[in-house]
Structure 1
Amino acid sequence: MTNERSAHAPFEVSEGLREIGQAIRVARLRRRQPASDLASRVGVSLPTLRKLEKGDPSVSLGVFARAVWTLGLFPAVRRAVSPENDHLAASIETSRLPSRVRRPRELNLDDL
């Protein structure tokens, strides 16, 4: 069953959500935590957790954040989206730098 939002999501987004959901599932399994326990700790129903683990785009960012926090992955998520790791923005800023810098003109108070 596909909802309207996922039908219009770019492939890269849909695939990325699926991979992120799968990574959350693997993290849960590696911690030997039953899905029902994680759902309870996150404060969602088991069907909502299953949607998260499948990469359903209708799951809120808040649910995602609580799940990764509960699994101990929140610091890595925060680092991933920090401005210091935004390489595209850094590249854009670098491309806008002037090719040369001139010394500022001295202000002549007699000209005022």
Structure 2
Amino acid sequence: MTSERAVHTPFEVSNGLREMGQAIRAARLRRRQPASDLASRVGVSLPTLRKLENGDPTVSWGVFARAVWVLGLFPAVRDAVSPENDRLAAAIETGRLPRRARRPREVNLDDL
């Protein structure tokens, strides 16, 4: 028997999951797609889809990915997490740039 420690979900994560779930629900409704149809296309039960739309953190990443793919939102999600859109990493890299540029030293091959 394995014991699992309870992991506290930070408020920002809980809130973000709830917002993403609401966005998935809104996308489904805007497409006039019944929940049972989306659940079937995603390959999950209706209660699992409801959990996803409510932002339940126990819903798997795969279910989320399939749902946004079925709704046509996958490219936007993929773009949101692409390295090119990682502002924090860009700021860190910018902070590591040298203060000034110097010409490279010329190497005299005769001295080698």
TM, length-normalised to structure 1 = 0.90
Where in structure 1 are there 5+ consecutive unaligned residues?
none
Output aligned runs, 1:1-112, within 5 Å: 4-5=6-7, 8-112=8-112
Partners in 2 of 1:106 and 1:76 — Cα distance?
47
**Which runs of 5 or more residues in structure 2 are unaligned?**
1-5
CA RMSD of aligned residues (A): 1.1
- Higher share of residues assigned helix: 1
SS of 2:53's equivalent in the other structure is helix
Cα deviations by residue, 1:52-71 (Å, 9 ceiling, x for unpaired): 00111111111000000101
TM-score normalised to the size of structure 2?
A: 0.90
SS of residue paired to 2:33: coil
Aligned residues: 107
Work out the percentage of aligned pairs sharing the same amino acid.
84
Runs of 4+ that moved beyond 6 A: none
Matches of 1:58 and 1:67 in 2, distance apart? 15
1:46 partner amino acid: L
